[in-house]
């Protein structure tokens, strides 16, 4: 490939001097080269070719057993000043970060190939898209990037002689956990990643660029990069309204983005279109409305729990051209994971490659096993998903996994209060990152692991975005919780497709069609406005979901919320002086309302 961009060539030259690869190969995006890389990946044992009749162009990959999720404790924001990374990020001084990883990476591509991946986040040539160059010695990374982003020659052409590209450098090294570093340099437009071969740590276009670096760019340039799905909800008249939703990792974005409405709605003509399932770049359009764009081209989705019933659209995405990571492998060259069906195979290999006994109590697929599937495979992909202008947002939804406390849904009073609602989000941790699972933690806007600068400044940026247009044009802000548990640990709300009933209320609120109840935390639906006709769900064998349960899901428990206030105060204190005074005022107001209510 012929690249005339001197800055790109200089970046590659310096990386090659450091890593000393035997050869450098440009990824051109051609089917021929992709096919050759798949073949080579299989020959090297990096990939396994799956049953081409049942799963055409699908491949299988296992990561090292110590390398199965994002590593938040080894992820650093390397801004020149510590205060710019803020209290919720790990920080490393950039010179030290470069020197440290120079030391780790020096000579580590000897005898190996360094691949040069020019990629675009967003459709190539859109003024809102951003370009990156990832250098890597992993064929798995190349094949994933080819699905997750727009790669190849056209990107180099679109870049021209501009210096506006993210420099991403990834080296597998020894997959040594002690030397694993995921480093973002927001002021340099640069990323370094070493000693990992897993998803979010190494597909540098995703969390490292499209969230950590891009959130910083958005702050400087007046737009937002968010950990959000984007969906379109179509009514029987053919009107489509767009919603973006921020849930923490493994908390239901892919599932909501690909939702199939309950039958009663489906036959009337309601449907949901997927625009994106993980990342949204949001800008104010010429008409003053907020427009969201999906910068990715594929889905890196959680496999366990995905099945014909929970998410048939996601399953359909994986029929072709998909890479499966850390799932169980069947002898016929197909794959399996927990929750795919009720028939665990008896003759499969587990995600570590060992013969698997489904009765052993060991899982066949890793809980954070994933599929990498092209977005174009999605049966419900929105006709607007590649619109370079994005789609206009009616609502923004926040949500997390909360066994208690958070009601099924509530609405903020206004934009500023909505920013407050996002800032106090909390969720129980999942297998998407290393560390304990099921521990509640505050995860504002689901960006705790992904914000490239100080969290207080990020809150202020949200408030400032609200001033970029008139109030009537701002998306309305909501909070949802699909994960309330009963005393026995069962999900009270059926979730999945039934979440459509809540989306309906949200849209009705945006269009001013329903009233709501004012509570200390915000507006909550009248129970009769969440339509549950036709809902048939067993919370447990002798308890079928009914109106009483809905009422329970919509109750605000004062004492729990007062505990919450104390925890939020501590969290704000940890972030420190940059927390906007407006948000502290919102917290004080909420506390006063809760105390008032407790007295009444
Ligand atoms: P990342 O890709 O990690 O950012 O995650 P995500 O937010 O896209 O999560 P995803 O949709 O893949 O869901 C992860 C897990 O949540 C899966 O195990 C799902 O089965 C489960 N899940 C999703 N939606 C619901 C729901 O409405 N109710 C319940 N109970 N579980 C859900
Ligand atoms: C997440 O953890 O939020 C993911 C998967 O979407 S990863 O790409 O690994 O970040
Ligand atoms: Mn994610």
**In this structure, CATH architecture of domain 6-46+74-221:** 3-Layer(aba) Sandwich (3.40)
Phi-psi region of 295 (alpha: psi -120 to 50; beta: other; left: phi over 0): alpha
Estimate the crossing angle of helix 558-575 against helix 581-599, to 10 degrees.
160
Summarised one tens digit per residue, pLDDT across range 19-39 is 999 999 999 999 999 999 999
Instruction: Quote the ligand 1 centre to 401 CA distance (angstroms).
Output: 10
pLDDT class of 125 with cuts at 50, 70, 90: confident
Q: What CATH number does the domain located at 298-377 have?
A: 2.170.8.10
Compute the distance between CA of residue 42 and CA of residue 39 in angstroms, rounded to an integer.
5
Compute the distance between CA of residue 268 and CA of residue 287 in angstroms, rounded to an integer.
32
∠ Cα 482 485 490 (to 5°): 105
State the pLDDT at residue 351: 98
The answer to whether the beta carbons of residues 273 and 234 sit under 8 Å apart is: yes
DSSP code of residue 195: S
284 phi/psi in degrees, rounded to 5: -85, 125
CA dihedral (474, 476, 477, 480) positive or negative: negative
What ranges do the domains of the chain cover?
6-46+74-221, 229-294+385-599, 298-377
C-beta of 265 in contact with ligand 1 (< 6 A): no
Other CB atoms within 10 A of residue 203 CB: 30
Compute the distance between CA of residue 9 and CA of residue 80 in angstroms, rounded to an integer.
25
Q: Is the pLDDT of residue 1 over 90?
A: no
Summarised one tens digit per residue, pLDDT across range 519-569 is 999 999 999 999 999 999 999 999 999 999 999 999 999 999 999 999 999
DSSP code of residue 466: T
State the pLDDT at residue 598: 82
Bridging pattern class, strands 391-399 and 476-480: parallel
Pocket test for ligand 1, best of 198, 262, 301, 302 (most atoms within 8 A of CB): 302
The model carries a pTM of: 0.98
Ligand 2: residues with CB < 6 A are 70, 199-200, 206-207, 249, 278, 300, 432
Compute the distance between CA of residue 88 and CA of residue 448 in angstroms, rounded to an integer.
7
Which residue, judged by its Cα, is nearest atom 10 of ligand 1? Answer: 252
Nearest Cα neighbor of 210 from 131, 155, 314 is 131
C-beta of 301 in contact with ligand 1 (< 6 A): yes
Segment 560-585 shows an average pLDDT of 97
251 is catalytic: yes
For residue 134, what is the enclosing H or E element? strand 130-136
C-beta of 495 in contact with ligand 1 (< 6 A): yes
The answer to whether the beta carbons of residues 145 and 203 sit under 8 Å apart is: yes
Rg (CA), the chain: 24
CATH class of 229-294+385-599: alpha beta
């Amino acid at each position: 490939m012929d690249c005339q961009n001197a800055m790109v060539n200089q970046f590659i030259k310096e990386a090659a001097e450091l890593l000393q690869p035997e050869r450098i190969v440009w990824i051109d995006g051609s089917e021929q080269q992709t096919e050759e890389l798949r073949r080579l990946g299989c020959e090297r044992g990096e990939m396994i070719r799956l049953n081409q009749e049942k799963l055409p162009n699908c491949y299988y990959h296992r990561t090292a057993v110590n390398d199965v999720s994002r590593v938040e404790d080894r992820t650093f924001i390397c801004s020149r000043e510590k205060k710019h990374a803020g209290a919720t990020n790990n920080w490393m001084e950039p010179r030290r970060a470069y020197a440290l990883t120079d030391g780790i990476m020096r000579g580590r591509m000897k005898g190996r190939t360094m691949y040069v991946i020019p990629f675009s986040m967003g459709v190539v040539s859109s003024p809102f898209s951003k370009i990156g160059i990832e250098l890597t010695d992993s064929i798995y990374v190349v094949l994933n990037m080819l699905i997750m982003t727009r790669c190849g020659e056209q990107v180099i052409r679109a870049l021209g002689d501009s210096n506006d590209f993210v420099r991403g450098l990834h080296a597998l090294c020894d997959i040594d956990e002690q030397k694993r570093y995921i480093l973002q340099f927001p002021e340099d437009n640069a990323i370094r990643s070493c000693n990992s071969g897993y998803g979010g740590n190494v597909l540098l276009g995703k969390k490292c660029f499209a969230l950590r670096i891009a959130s910083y760019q958005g702050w400087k340039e007046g737009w937002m990069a968010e950990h959000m799905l984007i969906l379109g909800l179509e009514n029987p008249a053919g009107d489509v309204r767009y919603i973006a939703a921020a849930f923490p990792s493994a908390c239901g974005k892919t599932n909501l983005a690909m939702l199939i409405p309950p039958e009663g709605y489906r036959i009337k003509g309601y449907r949901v279109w997927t625009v994106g399932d993980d990342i949204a770049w949001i800008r104010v359009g010429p008409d003053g409305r907020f427009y969201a764009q999906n910068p990715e081209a594929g889905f890196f989705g959680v496999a366990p729990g995905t099945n014909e019933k929970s998410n048939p659209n996601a399953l359909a995405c994986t029929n072709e051209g998909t890479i499966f990571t850390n799932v169980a492998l069947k002898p016929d060259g197909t794959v399996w994971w927990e929750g795919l069906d009720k028939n665990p195979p008896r003759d499969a290999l587990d995600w570590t490659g060992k013969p698997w006994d489904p009765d052993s109590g060991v899982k066949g697929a890793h809980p954070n096993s994933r599929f990498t599937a092209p977005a174009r495979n999605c049966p419900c992909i929105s006709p607007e998903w590649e619109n370079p202008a994005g789609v206009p947002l009616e609502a923004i939804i926040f949500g997390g996994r909360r066994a208690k406390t958070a009601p099924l849904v509530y609405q903020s009073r206004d934009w500023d209060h909505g920013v407050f609602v996002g800032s106090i989000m909390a969720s129980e941790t999942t297998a998407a990152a290393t560390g304990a699972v099921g521990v509640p933690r505050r995860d504002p806007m689901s960006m705790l692991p992904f914000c490239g600068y100080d969290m207080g400044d990020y809150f202020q940026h949200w408030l400032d975005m609200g001033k970029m247009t008139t109030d009537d044009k701002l998306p309305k802000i909501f909070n949802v919780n699909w994960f309330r548990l009963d005393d026995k640990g069962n999900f009270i709300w059926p979730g999945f497709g039934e979440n459509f009933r809540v989306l309906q209320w949200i849209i009705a609120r945006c269009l001013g069609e329903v009233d709501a109840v004012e509570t200390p935390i915000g507006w909550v639906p009248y129970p009769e406005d969440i339509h549950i006709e036709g809902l048939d769900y067993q919370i447990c064998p002798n308890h079928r979901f009914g109106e009483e349960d809905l009422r329970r899901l919509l109750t605000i428990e004062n004492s729990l919320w007062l505990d919450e206030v104390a925890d939020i105060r501590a969290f704000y204190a940890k972030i420190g002086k940059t927390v906007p005074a407006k948000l502290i005022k919102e917290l004080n107001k909420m506390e006063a309302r809760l105390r008032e209510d407790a007295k009444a």
